[in-house]
């Protein structure tokens, strides 16, 4: 009953605010988060508070409001436990999110209503699992950690798992935004509905573009883990998602730049760098810039390799053989895990090169970028400790045999798959054949 009473008070205040032209009238004003916040704030102001009058309260608010900033409130979260903050006594808490773009409802957990909490879903945790396994097996060696000792993994796994799962959750939302922008899925009675499309577009923009990384940075800061470099890499992730939306959402008439395409492929593995920097911070170590630089160029080469593999895969075994030398994935495992980037309209560096340079020039220009990266990779590898580099190369060979996405790169042959000039025709023919 107490909850219903509070809702009734908020609703009455919203009606009053609307009648006084305090808020802009919109068809969904009563459901607006900002309007609800203002209503709750006004209700708080009119509540009795000792001997303070309304004038006294307004004077206090006017005097102290300029001192209240986002950073001030974030610091307050550290010292203010309880239901108001979503239980920050354990900041790295997890709540399940109902991923329903129709009504935007969330799970019914007691802390689910706190929008400043970093919330992750089970699906995101499951998707992040393979990346976490690869990270432990490929990057722990750069920290002198023994992968065969379980305590080395479980000591830091909760933080690493939470951060990677949160990133995957945002990545999933970004993919939905790309699909939504391109296909204009908001239809009613089989016809495109501008009003419905606009409503969903606003929902996506609100969910994704209003400083989505902030809840995660707050939690990391509360745990003494946020550094300038980690913050920068998280911002790089936001930049990558924005580039992905722009490049994959561009129409045939829109121009895209090679600078944006190369920037996107360089940023794509930002999550590995975030995890790596977190591991330095968790262990109280200084960041090894040589290791970071080597792993960054390795990540670039692997992302290009993966894009060549994921570009397009024919249903004929002969085509699998043509692409395998570039991707280093076992043939037997590919049939079940392949995602065709052209068909799914995913960001793919080869797609971008074909669109920018044309089918005749794209392979040459991409080969030039690969050669430059390989040269840098070889130079940096010689600066590494020989035993460490040998261990890393062994891990690359293991990943090649096992299949799946790998983080290490072994110098080898590169093969450009058959290029698709007319992507729309390709998608249409694939749908027809299905």
Q: How far apart are CA 159 and CA 234, in angstroms?
A: 15
Query: Which 8-state DSSP code applies to residue 199?
Result: H
The full set of domain ranges for the chain reads 2-67, 96-287, 288-434
Task: Please give the mean pLDDT across all residues of the chain.
Answer: 75
Residue bearing the bigger pLDDT, 419 or 96: 419
Q: How far apart are CA 202 and CA 104, in angstroms?
A: 12
Determine contact, residues 225/274, Cβ cutoff 8 Å.
Answer: no
Kindly indicate the confidence band of residue 227, based on its pLDDT and cuts at 50, 70 and 90: very high
Lowest mean pLDDT among 10-19, 93-102, 386-395: 93-102
Q: How far apart are CA 169 and CA 128, in angstroms?
A: 9
Lowest mean pLDDT among 165-179, 263-277, 420-434: 420-434
Q: How far apart are CA 335 and CA 199, in angstroms?
A: 38
DSSP H or E segment with residue 187: strand 187-188
- Whole-number pLDDT of residue 2: 59
Q: Which long-range contacts (CB under 8 A, 24 or more apart) does 41-49 make?
A: 42/13, 42/17, 43/9, 43/10, 43/13
- Whole-number pLDDT of residue 312: 67
DSSP H or E segment with residue 191: strand 191-192
Q: Which of 122, 99, 123, 98 is nearest to 108 (CA)?
A: 98
Kindly indicate the confidence band of residue 176, based on its pLDDT and cuts at 50, 70 and 90: confident
- Whole-number pLDDT of residue 160: 96
- Mean local confidence (pLDDT), 66-73: 80
Task: Tell if the pTM clears 0.85, that is, is over it.
Answer: no
Which are the contacts of 385, defined by CB distance < 8 A and separation ≥ 6? Answer: none
3-state secondary structure 67-79: HCCHHHHHHHHHH
Residue bearing the bigger pLDDT, 201 or 85: 201
Query: Which 8-state DSSP code applies to residue 286?
Result: P
Lowest mean pLDDT among 186-195, 208-217, 280-289: 186-195
What's the token pair of residue 149?
């000792």
Q: pLDDT tens digits for 346-389?
A: 899 999 999 999 999 999 999 999 999 999 999 999 999 999 99
- Mean local confidence (pLDDT), 311-337: 38
- Whole-number pLDDT of residue 374: 93
| Range among 221-230, 262-271, 396-405 rated most confident | 262-271
Which are the contacts of 117, defined by CB distance < 8 A and separation ≥ 6? Answer: 86, 93, 95, 111, 215
**Above pLDDT 70, what percent of the chain?**
68
- Mean local confidence (pLDDT), 156-180: 86
- Whole-number pLDDT of residue 310: 82
Q: pLDDT tens digits for 383-402?
A: 999 999 999 999 888 876 77
Q: pLDDT tens digits for 251-267?
A: 878 899 999 999 999 99
Kindly indicate the confidence band of residue 241, based on its pLDDT and cuts at 50, 70 and 90: very high
Determine contact, residues 380/372, Cβ cutoff 8 Å.
Answer: no
- Whole-number pLDDT of residue 286: 96
What's the token pair of residue 193?
């509905």
Q: How far is CA 207 from CA 86, 169, 183, 202, 213, in A?
A: 19, 12, 19, 8, 11
Lowest mean pLDDT among 52-61, 84-93, 183-192, 212-221: 84-93
**Above pLDDT 90, what percent of the chain?**
35
Determine contact, residues 170/245, Cβ cutoff 8 Å.
Answer: no
For residue 192, give the 3-state DSSP assignment: strand
- Whole-number pLDDT of residue 4: 58
Which are the contacts of 256, defined by CB distance < 8 A and separation ≥ 6? Answer: 246, 247, 250, 352, 355, 356
Residue bearing the bigger pLDDT, 229 or 249: 229
Kindly indicate the confidence band of residue 423, based on its pLDDT and cuts at 50, 70 and 90: confident
Q: How far apart are CA 353 and CA 366, in angstroms?
A: 7
Q: Is residue 428 predicted with pLDDT exceeding 70?
A: yes
Residue bearing the bigger pLDDT, 16 or 92: 16
- Mean local confidence (pLDDT), 262-277: 97
Q: How far apart are CA 294 and CA 302, in angstroms?
A: 12
- Whole-number pLDDT of residue 94: 39
What's the token pair of residue 166?
């949160």
Q: Is the dihedral of CA 372, 348, 171, 239 positive or negative?
A: positive
- Mean local confidence (pLDDT), 71-94: 50
- Whole-number pLDDT of residue 26: 54
Q: Is the dihedral of CA 419, 424, 427, 433 positive or negative?
A: negative
């Amino acid at each position: 009953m107490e909850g219903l009473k509070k809702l009734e008070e908020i609703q009455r205040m919203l009606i009053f605010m609307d009648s006084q032209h305090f808020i802009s009238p919109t068809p969904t004003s009563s459901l607006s988060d900002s309007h609800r916040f203002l209503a709750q704030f006004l209700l708080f102001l009119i509540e009795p508070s000792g001997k303070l009058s309304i004038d006294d309260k307004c004077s206090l608010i006017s005097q102290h409001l300029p001192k209240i900033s986002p950073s001030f409130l974030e610091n307050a979260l550290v010292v203010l436990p309880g239901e108001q903050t979503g239980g920050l006594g354990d900041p790295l808490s997890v709540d399940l999110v109902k991923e329903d773009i129709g009504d935007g409802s969330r799970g019914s957990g007691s802390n689910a209503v706190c929008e400043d909490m970093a919330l992750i879903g089970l699906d995101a945790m499951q998707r992040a699992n393979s990346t976490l396994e690869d990270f432990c097996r490929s990057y722990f060696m750069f920290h002198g950690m023994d992968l065969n000792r379980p305590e080395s993994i479980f000591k830091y796994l909760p933080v690493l798992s939470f951060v990677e799962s949160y990133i995957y959750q945002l990545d999933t939302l970004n993919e939905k935004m790309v699909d939504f922008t391109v296909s204009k899925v908001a239809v009613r009675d089989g016809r495109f509905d501008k009003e419905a499309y606009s409503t969903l577009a606003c929902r996506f923009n609100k969910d994704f573009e209003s400083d989505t990384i902030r809840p995660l940075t707050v939690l990391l800061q509360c745990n003494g883990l946020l550094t300038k470099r980690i913050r920068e890499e998280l911002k790089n992730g936001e930049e990558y998602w924005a580039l992905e939306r722009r490049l994959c959402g561009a129409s045939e008439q829109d121009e895209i730049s090679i600078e944006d395409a190369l920037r996107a492929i360089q940023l794509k593995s930002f999550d590995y760098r975030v995890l790596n920097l977190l591991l330095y911070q968790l262990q109280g170590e200084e960041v090894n810039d040589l290791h970071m630089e080597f792993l960054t160029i390795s990540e670039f080469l692997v992302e290009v390799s993966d894009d060549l593999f994921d570009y397009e895969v024919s249903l004929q075994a002969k085509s699998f053989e043509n692409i395998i030398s570039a991707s280093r994935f076992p043939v037997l495992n590919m049939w079940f895990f392949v995602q065709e980037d052209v068909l799914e309209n995913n960001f793919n560096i080869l797609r971008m090169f074909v669109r920018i340079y044309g089918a005749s020039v794209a392979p040459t220009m991409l080969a030039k970028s690969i050669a430059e990266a390989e040269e840098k990779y070889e130079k940096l590898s010689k600066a590494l400790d020989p035993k460490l580099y040998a261990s890393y190369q062994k891990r690359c060979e293991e990943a090649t045999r096992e299949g799946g996405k790998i983080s290490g790169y072994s110098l080898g042959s590169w093969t450009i798959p058959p290029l698709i000039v007319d992507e729309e025709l390709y998608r249409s023919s694939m749908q027809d054949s299905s």
